[in-house]
Structure 1
Amino acid sequence: MKKIFFFTTIVALFSACTNGDQNAGDGGSKTADPAPQRNSPKSISYSILNTYPHDTSSFTQGLVVYNGDLYEGTGEYGHSHLLKTDITTGKILKKTPLDAKYFGEGITILHDTIYQLTWQEKVVFAYTLKDFKKVKEFSINTQGWGITTDGKDLLVSDGSSNIYYYNPSTFQLQRTQTITENGSLSFNLNELEYIDGFLYANQWQAPYILKIEPGSGSIVGKIDLTNIWNRVKANDPAADVPNGIAFDSTTKKIYITGKRWPELYEVQLGE
C-alpha cells in the first residue's frame, strides 16, 4: 500500500517496537504484554480448490464475503474504491469511489454496515450495505491497514505488531493487543480476517498469512504462499504482493488474492 521503498520496512520495524508505548494511554486503552511462551508457529499447508478471475486494476486492500457476496476495498490515490463483485466471474456489481485525497485500505462488515479504512488520512468510513451510502466518518490515531471483526469489536492493523480493538458504534479504542512470533514482536501486519476464533493476517512484503491466537497475541501458524505468488507473477509480472483473505462463515470457504492479481483463489487450509 504503502510505497515500495526500502526505508518503509525499517519504519515498520521501528513502529513495531514503539507503537505499544505510544498508544498505551490512548483513550484509556491498555496494551497487552507480549506472550512469554516461545513456541514456533506451525507450518500450515493449503490446497487450491477453485480459481476465479480477479480484476487486475484492483489494488486490493480488503476482501470480505458477507451473505454469499464478495466485497473488496481497493487503494491508491485517485483509484480507491469500495466494490461488490461476483465471486465466480469477477464482474463488478456495485462500485463507489473515494475522494482522490484518500488512499483506501481494509474493509469489514458488521451488522450490515461496511467499514473502510484509509491509509495516512486516519479516517474510517461507514456505509450502508444495500446501497453503499456513506453514513458516518470516524477518526483514529494510527494509520489504517487491515480491519476485521470478531462479531463484537472491530480489529485494526497499522503495519506494526499491534492489533487495535475498537467499538464499532463510536470507534473508541478498547484495547491494544501486541502480536508476537516465537516470543519476538511481529511486524507488517496487514489485511485481516477472523476465522473460527483465530485472527489471520497477511504479512506485507512477505509471502505469509499468519494465524494468530487472539487471547495471547501469539502467532500459532504460518501459511507460506510462495508457490502461489510465483504462479501469479509468472502469469502477470505487474501483480503485486499477496493481500486479501475472505471467509464465508456459511459455507466455510476461504478465498485469497493480492494487489492487481489476475486470479482469486478458493483454498482449503491444512491442520
Structure 2
Amino acid sequence: MSSGGAALKALDDVSLSVEPGRVLGIVGESGSGKTTLLRTIVGLNRGYSGAIRYRGQMVDHAAGKTRLAPFRAGVQMIFQDPGGSLNPFRTIRQTLMAALARVPSAVPDATRLGALLDQVGINASALDRRPSEFSGGQLQRLAIARALACDPTVFLCDEPTSALDVSIQAQILDLFAKLKNEGRAFVFVTHNLGVLGHIADTIAVMFRGRVVEAGPARRLIAEPKEAYTAALIAASPRLKHRGVLLDNARRRLAPQAAAAGSAL
C-alpha cells in the first residue's frame, strides 16, 4: 500500500513460530497487522517476501492443489464471524461432509459426524439444520467442528471470541484448551491481551506491522518491557492468568501506560 507516494508495510520483518500443544498469542490494536499475518499464512494475501514453513517444509501458495493439500488440511482458520466458514445454504451435515472429503483417510459416516459434534459440545440432532438456526456461540462451535474434520495440527484463530458474550467466550476458550492438550498448535490473534492471558503460552505484541515485544505469557503480562505493551495491559478486561491478576499489573504499570497512551 502507499500513502502520498510512500510505501507502507503491512508486515515488517515478522518472524514467529509455534510448536505442537502450544498457543502463540498475537495482540495489538486494530491495524497492527495481526489479521494480515494470518491471511498471509493461509495464502489469502500474496506478493510477500520471506518464507512460510509448515512442519519444516516451505509452503508455496502458487503450487497446485495436490501439493498444497497437506497444508490446507493441516492448517485451519477460525474466523471472528463463523459465517466465514459455514455456508448458509448447506446443512451442518453437508458442511462436515465437504470438509471430510479433503482428508483421504477420513470415513464420512454418521458416527464420524456425530463424534465431531460431540467434540465441540453440540448434539448430533444439529446435523440436518442450517446455520441460521443456531446462536453465535453454537455457530462458533460448529465452525470449530468443521475445522476439526480436516484433523488439523494448527489452528489460526482470528478474534474467535470477540463477538461473543463473556460466558460463551469462556466456554470457547475451554474448548481450545482441550484441543491444545490433544497436541494441536494455535496462533491466536486478538486485540484483547486479557484473553491471551487465559490461554497463551507465549505472546507477541504487534504495532504498525512489527513485533515490538515477545515472550512467555506470564512474564510479559507481569513485567512488560515496552510502554506500548503496558498500555495494552492497562486497557485489558479483568482476567486472571495463572495467579497473575491483571488489575495488579494495571496499578503497577500506570505510569508506563500513561506514557504510551498517545500510541493507542
Shorter-chain TM-score range = under 0.3
TM-score (norm 2): 0.25
TM-score (norm 1): 0.25
Give the number of the structure whose residues are more often helix, by fraction: 2
